[in-house]
Amino acid sequence: MSHLAAQGPSVRAVPCMTLEVVVVPVSDVDRAKRFYGNLGWRLDIDFTDDDDYRVIQFTPPGSNCSIIFGENVSAAKPGSLKGLHLIVEDIEAARADLLGRGVAISDLFHDAGGIFHHVEKGRLTSGPNPQRKSYASYASFSDPDDNGWIIQEVTTRLTGPVPEGDTPFTTQLADVAGRLPSLVLG
């Protein structure tokens, strides 16, 4: 299966690609296993090959993408992964669930200037998006190593090819991305 992607004035088929695994760098494998297990995520693998290799894989509920961590799985510094997004249909219910599991999670917030909350920290406003726009309400939490997660409410997906003549959603993001080098990211 392929999707159509705009490439200048022409359109060409692009092979379908899905994200399968994200490697999360941790310092204490057993502590991370307890944390992610407590989130209610499915434990897929806890495999040890020898004394210096161990891999653990969890999958969040409803996700086709998993996370892995372990011993000698990544050279990345523990806690260096930031901005991983977990998509939820009801952000208030998801936040309440995480609080009930003992997770230290932020209050809900939104970007008063739009929907791309990473860009200008001064535009972040407490509470969910007042119109409850899809892609516009967030909360954040971290694992014990300070790997940062964002939960984001998405009620209507912006997917599929953009009909000819329509303005693609990505034009707005392209403008923001062009400004990223001059902005301070948190």
Question: Which domains does the chain carry?
Answer: 1-75 (3.10.180.10), 82-186 (3.10.180)
pLDDT of 124 strictly over 60: yes
The answer to whether residue 185 scores a pLDDT higher than 50 is: no
Q: Which two tokens stand for residue 73?
A: 């799985």
pTM: 0.77
What pLDDT score does 113 carry? 73
What type of residue is 139? A
* Among 148, 176, 173, 151, residue whose Cα is nearest residue 162: 173
d(CA 58, CA 165): 42
Model confidence band, residue 177 (pLDDT cutoffs 50, 70, 90): very low
- Give the Cα separation of 89 and 134 in Å (integer): 9
- Please say if the pLDDT value at position 29 is more than 60: yes
164 pLDDT more than 70 = no
**Tell me, what's the pLDDT at 162?**
52
pLDDT recorded at residue 134:
85
Contact present, 66 and 21 (Cβ < 8 Å): yes
Is the pLDDT score of 4 beyond 60? no
Q: What would the mean pLDDT of 117-133 be, rounded to a whole number?
A: 77
More confident residue, 4 or 139: 139
Answer yes or no: is pLDDT of 64 > 90: yes
Alpha-helix runs per DSSP H in the chain: 29-38, 91-100, 170-179
Backbone dihedral angles phi then psi of residue 36, each to the nearest 5 degrees: -70, -30
Contact in structure between 57 and 66 (CB atoms under 8 Å): yes
Q: Work out the pLDDT band at 166, boundaries 50, 70, 90.
A: very low
Residue that wins the pLDDT comparison between 2 and 144: 144
